Structure 1
């Protein structure tokens, strides 16, 4: 589609003045060509014009005029100004000294043809221009006529003779008050066209055999729609609409839904379809993308339809728990997140949770987090919660002591070792020791070593310490001795 632009029409020549010239311009290539022998009805395209294809000995650049053939119209002043800005950019790249160029739409000619005037800034010149490899080109956007009674059967462009210059000339240079007689670029008065031009005289090409006649014809036009995956930026499908120029078709039912596009709703989002020009439900007129052609089967416009991917997701993770009185579990413990069809974050309350966990009983418990999006896509994540028995453990041993003043006892004497819930070794200082031993008094003593792990599991070991009396003894007997020198 081509936007409608509002043009500004000059009411008199006094509203704009021509650049000050000190000689008539030197010109070349002031003609228009077309492809083939036909001009297509209802077409949009560009005239490629070369207003500055020869240097003018460092003089002020002239303004130039485009007089469109009958039935050909410009695409609006805003679009024309954009074309002028593009021409200036090209000229700067080729060394022209130019700051700006302003586009104006003048009043129509006496016979109803549109006229556009392009004025470079004062002081613009070609002092350092280099156009030896290529010329700067004005891509002039135009529309061709519809198949109506006011549209001629053919158009003629470029003048074979001086008498044809006013009626067939398209590109003219403003020469101010300078006149040139004869040759390939003679002048004619602006008044002969009936326009309020800022230049009194215009120069255009006259050359035998240069006239180009194009016959209006209808064409079969193909509009192309490239369907692009928004995530990969790759074309996933190409749709076309084919018909005679000027006919309309509706995008509704063609590109406005996944069903119309033939795309999988499990992969793409029905509400995330966008077209680069217009809306998804516009009525579109088949318009040739070129204004002239050597054939009657031509390309129309190419559009890009971007389709967003389904972003529905649920994520979670497996985990390990140790069974015990203090062990707890909630569905949020293994839930990492979820998104809706457009990638917007969801909360756990939006997700269906199936399964539960008994934290007191060892085993593997499956829990599933599921979500159904707006297109019916069901996504889920299954996680496993592994509940294992505690590895907490305490070990001690019985022992025997003999009562006596030198006999001692400490809790470490009967402690073998212990581990926590994860099997990590513990110290005696981590234990609770219940009971005591009096090593001076015989008897049986119970000592309990206990530990409560992080999950509340209680483990213990009771050791016996047996204190017995000493069995030490001394024996002797009475006797009688007779004193004497030999008695020992």
Structure 2
């Protein structure tokens, strides 16, 4: 051990009967993953005839700023007797007694300081603890008093499936996004999606550990790669905890003060959580536009903060995305709606009328409207020629250049609803009256069934 003086005027002292018994221990493991917190605890036993004077300190030294983030240092325990502080220049975290203590008993104080993420495994061998009295006389605690001062900072290796405590999970996890056919399933770390999709969804679940709220500028950056890929803030949503998977848009979350976000020049989206906002088990759901069946798409996410990465290492997390069947291409989409025609209407060409306003598109082939055929008119043509009221199922079909053939069925209604009326002449005078029956001749419903005047609603 190296004896450390806090000032040039300090005197070196030895343990005496007047000094309380002090035991210091490191509470973290011998190997600490970079980005986690170093925890040290001191137990102070005050005897019957012993006094601790105000200004007395217990100092933990040897904490280089190369490996520790002093802005995150804090302490707890025995706050009513003293205060905690940190000195980055000297590499120390300190507990200072602020009042004289003569009552016998036990006091406990704890120090916590976040280690920085490291690129190589690094042994830490210079840490020690000192007792400094109110006159700045100091002594380094012996190995019996501080038996486990040394440890090793270890490079954080991702755990498969957990991605270094940020879980990258495929699937929507309860998200409702305004995109079509967003379904996916995962196998062996690869997310597959059906050829009907233009968008692929991926969900990241944050599990950053207990130190999250002590960090600042906690930013989660999402990017995507692949031919024709597009990542839009409109298709990113967040849920705030594991028990509530009710997602909100980034815009709504920002308006509520949970986060801020920015779309960067490279197309990536940086989400910065508000200081103090818990992100434990928060979910980030991402939908990317992925139009090329021959390509593999990757969603990448990176977590950083200004005060270390407690519970997280600064690593790039990726999920590979691939199509179920790259040979069939995207399946066409037909837009067709139910409609009604009256028996008294005129149709120049039945086929043209049935195809009016029916459209079809395909991601690869574009507009396929001209390729639509009526694969089954459900008896409509014959019914129309015979003016037979009823509902008829008409099916439209279209095929794309990959041979994908899809169909869409709608209901076409032939209605016989009609009202026949006649004109009437009224002569103005004090006794002149009028009723709807004066003009009513006949009426039928959609099926051609006769209706009486009482079946009708007269207005005006």
TM-score normalised per structure 1: 0.37
Larger Rg over CA atoms: 1
